[in-house]
Amino acid sequence: QVQLVESGGGLVQAGGSLRLSCAASGRTFSNYAMGWFRQAPGKEREFVAAITWRSNTYYTYYTDSVKGRFTIARDNAKNTVSLQMNSLKPEDTAVYYCAADPVNYRDYTTYAYWGQGTQVTVSS
């Protein structure tokens, strides 16, 4: 139903910022829960952030290591979800993936749609 394309990755110095964007083609995803995951070499895919809709309210969730530094947001008019990443650390280096329509937002195996990933590299 939806194809996702990430953009905004790159190489930054520690302490810098990047803003990732995930653009959806096809139908609007206003009612989809959306998540960001990352995967570093040799490591399993890790939950980063998610945004869900229930009781007429958007809720956001973050893994502890990014709380206070990363912000997930949606722009339904543009069919995009973003991840603003501030105060980046070398341990944030990974391929970042946008995903949509989970059963459990923490579990990458339950998402229905995935983007191709975008590389984020943070130098020390």
- How far CA 34 is from CA of 41, 42, 48, 61, in Å, comes to 24, 25, 11, 10
Residue 84 pLDDT grade (very low, low, confident, very high; cuts 50, 70, 90) = very high
Query: Looking at the predicted structure, is the pLDDT value of residue 19 above 90?
Result: yes
- CA 113, CA 52: separation in Å to the nearest integer? 15
Query: DSSP character for 8?
Result: -
pLDDT cut 70: percent of the chain above it: 97
Residue 4 pLDDT grade (very low, low, confident, very high; cuts 50, 70, 90) = very high
